[in-house]
Every structure is written in C-alpha cells, then in structure tokens.
Structure 1
C-alpha cells in the first residue's frame, strides 16, 4: 500500500536507538560542497508492480540527468521490504542518497537522526515550504520540529464499489453511513453466497491500523495522548477495533478467508467481482492492471456516522502519502536537494501524481484538470476536509506492529468462529499496549 503498506516485523525506534545521527549515502560523488555525478534513489512501489514504476520513473530521471548532469541509480523497493532496508542502511552506513518513506514513519525516522532535517534554508532551496499543502507537511515529522522529509505524493482512503454488483442487488447509491454499508453488504451476500460485501486484509498490519485509526477518530479516540503515551485500551479505541472486526464476526459481510489476506489481495478479489466494496487509497491503476474498466467501479467517501464527512467524529481517512527524504550523511547532499527540488517541481508533480493516481501535495500542481477526475476529486476533497494525520510520535511504527498484530489475531478469531467481544478486544489491545512499555 503506498504509505503506508509496510508491515515490518521490526520497530524503528528500538532498532535505531543506538545509531542516532547515522544515515546512508552512496560512495559516489564528492562532499556536500561538490556537484555529485551520481545519486542512488530508493523509490517505494506505487503502481501495480515494480516494472510499472520503473517505466514511469525512468524517463523522468533521464530528464533530471539531462538538466543537471547527475545520473540517478533507481531501485524500486517493495513495501514489504522497505522499512527493513532502511533500518539496515542506517546501521551499515551503506544506503541510498535519496529515498521514499511512508509519511507515517516520518516522526520515527526523525527521532533516529538518520534523515536530513528540512530547515527553512533547505525548504527555500526547493522553492519554499509554502508551496506545499499544510496537512502534507504536517505529516512529515513531529510537531515543533523541522520535517524529516518533503511531501511527494498525497493519498487518502475512499470507498470503491462495484457498480454491477450494486445494481444486481437493487442498491442505487453507495453507502454514506456504516449502517448503510452493512445493510448493502448483507444484501449482496444474501443474493449470492459466493459474493461478499466488503474486502479486508487481516494480515496487512498497516492497513489494520489505518482503519482502526479512522474508526477511532469516529469514536473520539486517538490511540495516543498528548504526551505520546499509548492509550490503546480507551473505550473509544476498543469500540473502534471491535466495529472493524465485527464486519466479519457479527455482520458477516467480509469473507472469513480475508483474515489471512496480505497486501493487495483485497484489490484482486474486488477486481474479480468476488467482493463489492473495498476501502483503499488511489486504486484506479491497480484495477486497470487487473482488467477492470473505469465504468465498472465507482468511488465515494468512506462512511461516517452522520453520513457527511468532516472533522472530529466525522473524520473518514488518515492523511496518507509518500514523502521523499535525504539520508543525513550522504556525500551528495547538494545533488540530493536538487533531485528533491526536481521531483517536487510543479511539472513533475503533475506527471508523477497523474501516473500513480495520487494527489499532488504541491498546491500549484493541483490546479491541473486531471485531478478533477471523479476518483481523484474524492481523494482531494477528503484530504482537504475530513482527513486526520496519524499521531506524529516517535514510536508510531510500534503502533503499526503491536496494534496491527492485535487486530490480526482478532481477525483470526472471527474467521474461526470464536466470539469477538468487548472483553477479548480489550485484552488484545492491553497486550499491545504492554509491548509498547517494555
């Protein structure tokens, strides 16, 4: 998943505690005051596969080389490997000059000291911080500190639905509330027991916490207090996780097999007409790669209790996205900043975000009519009016692994027919919280 799709079995904070101030950096080029001839770039996988990303990025990197004389060595890294690769680079000192990170990792990596801080001087070198949407910059590091990265692609969650499956079940419009979504999902499953209302990915830890975070907002829970301490066992947090798992355990609109699904398997089921709805970020390119036509699916805001997305208890997405960062000890710092400036220029933002189905975090690029397409308009409006950033705390990555794993265990219970109760959810989250304090 974009941001946010890594489900690494390690945590940034513990792994980097002993290497504060370390970074990566290729051995090519000279020191920070020289013009480097080569940069190494780790790009996170944004498209349906790695080859698709290479096809999109290669001609753009050639433009940069033509303009600057700097060659960029590209490696597209799968989300399943990216966090582990970053941690290995920080401990070994052998890594890229520039890399993509999910914005949810920004504060954790910032706390390690591994990334170049984006001070006013550094932002001015790429055109100024005010070029970027404020919420995107706000998801690039802890409040009150210089961001650890620069926004590159902005994303949000939306509800994608299969138009034919809706029509066959006599459903005339997408659901706006969770009660409507449950009712629609049950109609679809009752009409054909081989089809299901909603898809999920029980083994995708990041996706688990993204959904829990949004539902937590709707229940008045943040999962962390203002000091950054985990509050996983609050009534709102427990209610949020139970509501999510109940889509399988109680409401019976998610297939039990989804408890074992990993990254992108829910999109495959949706594309094959096995499920009628999926909550996802910028899925259009993946649907197209799996044979769906744009007319086959529709998109709507993620449901909220009132039916009208907004702030507070009507938040319906995390502020998702990809940031571009520079390793702090790169020998190519000037060239790296030039590359960040190129990738976040107005023209490149239009090209890259169109290609990946994302929204530019650069304000001027958003004016392009291409971003008025129905699906992108939903994502853009969500980011502007009803999305909230995940807590920018140093141990956010542990939130992904501990709570994500707790929810995974609850999915397994639901799939096995075991009761999922308020007590069992609280017990799972209590265990996750205890792991945060060890």
Structure 2
C-alpha cells in the first residue's frame, strides 16, 4: 500500500474501543450515510498515480462507462495517502462517509473492527461473481482471520528491488544483489562520488513498517504474538530493525539525508540517477512519470538472508495492495455492489491494473500478456511464493504509527552520527510497545 500518515488520537481511541462498540456503521434507515440519490454514488479513490490529476484522468472514463451501463453517476474524490486514513477514521466515527472507498489492505482489520464496513459474506461475494475469482493471498489481506472480509481486493502489489542498469554497468556489476551480504558489498562499491547505492524514506512511517516487517520475518520474528499482543522488542525484532537502520548507520550505503525523506522522494532520486537501487512496490509507472524509459531499470526480488526467496525466513515482501470497501450505512447498497462488481470485472481489472502497473487480484485478468513483463513477473512470483500479509489485527494502524515512528527516530540518530546500538533500538521498540498498551 502506498501512503504515509499519522492517525488522529481521538479516532485511534475509537479504533481501540471498536471491539466493544462500533464507532461508525449503522444501517441505511438510521439516517446515516451520504444521503446520495439512488442513482448516484460517492467514491473515495486512493492516489495511485503520479498525482491526483492523473488519477482523475485515468478513472474518469471508466466511471463514465459504469454510468452508461447502469444509469448510476459516481462522484469521484481522489484522496492523498497523507489524508486518507484520517478521513476514513473520521467517517467511521461520524457515520458520514462515502458509499464506496479504497483502503490500503494493511488497514483492513483495523477498519473492520469499527463495524463501519460492509462484511463480504457469501451473499455479497455472489453478487460480484464469487469469492473464488480472487487470488486467495489477496483475500487474506482483507480482514481478520475467521471473519468475513471487510473489503474486496482491487490492485495487488509486492515489493521488488529496482536497480539502475546504467549505474550497474558503469560500476562493472553484472547482476543485482540476491542476499543482504551482497547488498552491502555491492552497495559500498556504488556509494561514492556523491551517489548512493540504496534509497530509503526514513520519514515515511508506512514504508518503514513494510521494510522492517520483511526483515523481522527473515529473522524469525513477528510483531504480534499468537494472541494478538504486541511483541515489538523481542531480540529478533530488534535485530531486524537494527539491520535496516544500519544500512545507513553502519554500512553507509544510504544517504543520511534519506532519514527525512517522505513519500516518493526515494523514487525521484532513483529516477534522477542519485541512487542505484530502491526497494519499492510496483514502481514502473512512477519511474515513467519521472522521465525514465523502459529498459533504464531492472527488477529483481528483494534480497534474502541466503539462498532464494521463499516462504518462512526467506519472505521478501509484504502482501501489498488496495482493497475496495463499502460503508455499511450506505443509502444505496445495490448500487454499491454493482460498482464493486464493475471495478472487479475481468475487463476493468485489466484496464486499471495496466494503468497503475499493479497485478490484478482477479485470477482471470492475470492471463493478459500485459502482466507477463519482467517487472510484473517478479511481482507475481513474489506474491505467489514469498510474500506475507502484515498482521491482520485491530491495532495494525496504531502499530504502523508507533513502530514506524521508532524507525524514523533511529534513522534520525544515524543521520546525526549518534550511535545506533542494540540497546538503543530495543529502547525505541519498548517505548512503541508501551504506547500501544496505553
């Protein structure tokens, strides 16, 4: 999921209480919802393209097509990632939200706990063609285990290692690193003359979480135990976070200035030839928007400790993606279901995922040759063999804020030349865990 944000404190409290009482939701006859006419829907789309205008241009013709087919007009608002979660949480608290909305798949369980989203039971899945049309790993990132999903997969993504072919060729490097040891060795040879090996976004809380989640898996750690309780400062989790920050603090292959980078700044540096590699999810369309051309970059799996990517300790990506949800108190449930059916139809899945450089979570749509490129083949293989979903727990959004901030602060220490030690990493993670408890 592409975004960065901090949750509002008041609405975070709502999420924490949601297991007992829903902060939003309701039904169509309780006066809540958007009060749109039956022939009109409101849709909050997440910013998937290089800017909001690009999303408006991409989605406009498709929404017009839906209107022509059904007679239902869709009022579109593209919401920046920096605002999206807070907007959604405020809507769940007030009961005044859109009819249909995009959510980052890592938020699914948190938003599910509010009770504000329509559960996707067998009847609702049947209304859009059936649950078995979707890739199971994508469904697994749509809500807590053992419950009906809170949303339907729309775009699927995974992380990959993107590398600048020209910079590698000039440095005499034949292939991208497959292991972290190779990353450090190659990275040191590339980090010179004002250029750096690897880009990062230390100020981007979500990206921090995505990276340390994967490394934690590789160290055999989970940030939540089997009972769903935080386990942020276990020895293996501490080692994972330290390994990531050490790419700047100790290995010196990430520029100190990256400690303050926010959303997409690392992509700009990569496109401008300031860094040779970046770890990102479905980045091809972003590179093109920054002036790169097909062939300028290569793509490979994210490094693993040793060997090749796979399940377990060689997990090398989170299951990334965007889900489509319906507010339970919509005044137009039938129209909302028709809209979800349209957006997840085989044809629309091909159109939309081609536009955004993502992988369709609808199985039949993946057969299109457009999704067999080198880039997307790596992403598809990763999703199918070596990706794991972030914890599907109600506290997931608070976890991203607490641990993402801890990593941000550690990057700030590294950039300032302050030592990053096992003890200092553990102290930050313990503090984050205590924040969750309070």
TM range (shorter): over 0.9
Q: Work out the CA distance in 1 between the residues paired with 2:124 and 2:234.
A: 40
- Secondary structure of 2:42's partner? strand
Alpha-carbon contact 2:319-2:388 (below 8 Å) kept = yes
Partner of 1:401: 401
Scaled by the length of structure 2, what TM-score is found?
A: 0.96
Matches within 5 A, 1:77-96: 77-96=79-98
- After TM superposition, give the deviation of residue 307 of structure 1 in Å: 3.3
- Secondary structure of 1:58's partner? helix
Match of 2:147 among 145, 148, 153: 145
Partner of 1:288: 288
Q: Work out the CA distance in 1 between the residues paired with 2:298 and 2:46.
A: 27
- Say if 2:180 is the partner of 1:154: no
| Cα distance per residue 1:384-427 (max 9 Å; x no partner) | 00000001001001110000000000000000001100000000
- Secondary structure of 2:113's partner? helix
Partner of 2:102: 100
Partner of 2:4: 6
- Secondary structure of 1:419's partner? coil
Partner of 1:374: 374
Partner of 2:66: 64
Partner of 1:275: 275
Scaled by the length of structure 1, what TM-score is found?
A: 0.96
- After TM superposition, give the deviation of residue 21 of structure 1 in Å: 5.5
- After TM superposition, give the deviation of residue 172 of structure 1 in Å: 0.7
- Secondary structure of 2:191's partner? helix
Partner of 1:32: none
| Cα distance per residue 1:341-360 (max 9 Å; x no partner) | 00000000000000000000
Number of residue pairs the alignment of both structures matches: 428
Alpha-carbon contact 1:6-1:82 (below 8 Å) kept = no
| Cα distance per residue 1:68-120 (max 9 Å; x no partner) | 00000001000000011111212222221000000000000001101000011
Q: Work out the CA distance in 2 between the residues paired with 1:202 and 1:363.
A: 35
- Say if 2:229 is the partner of 1:221: no
| Cα distance per residue 1:142-166 (max 9 Å; x no partner) | 0000000000000000000001111
Matches within 5 A, 1:377-388: 377-388=377-388
Q: Work out the CA distance in 2 between the residues paired with 1:15 and 1:278.
A: 36
- After TM superposition, give the deviation of residue 13 of structure 1 in Å: 4.7
Alpha-carbon contact 1:13-1:394 (below 8 Å) kept = no
Match of 2:36 among 28, 32, 38: 28
Partner of 1:46: 48
- Secondary structure of 2:59's partner? helix
Partner of 2:14: 15
Q: Which runs of 5+ in 2 are unaligned?
A: 26-31
Alpha-carbon contact 2:24-2:91 (below 8 Å) kept = no
Q: Work out the CA distance in 2 between the residues paired with 1:95 and 1:436.
A: 27
Q: Work out the CA distance in 2 between the residues paired with 1:315 and 1:25.
A: 41
- After TM superposition, give the deviation of residue 4 of structure 1 in Å: 4.0
Q: Work out the CA distance in 2 between the residues paired with 1:370 and 1:125.
A: 28
Partner of 1:266: 266
Q: Work out the CA distance in 1 between the residues paired with 2:307 and 2:2.
A: 26
Alpha-carbon contact 2:112-2:150 (below 8 Å) kept = yes
Matches within 5 A, 1:243-254: 243-254=243-254
Alpha-carbon contact 1:45-1:78 (below 8 Å) kept = yes
Partner of 2:180: 178
Q: Work out the CA distance in 2 between the residues paired with 1:406 and 1:10.
A: 18
Partner of 1:204: 204
More moved, 12-21 vs 202-211 = 12-21
Q: Work out the CA distance in 2 between the residues paired with 1:21 and 1:115.
A: 11
- Say if 2:307 is the partner of 1:307: yes
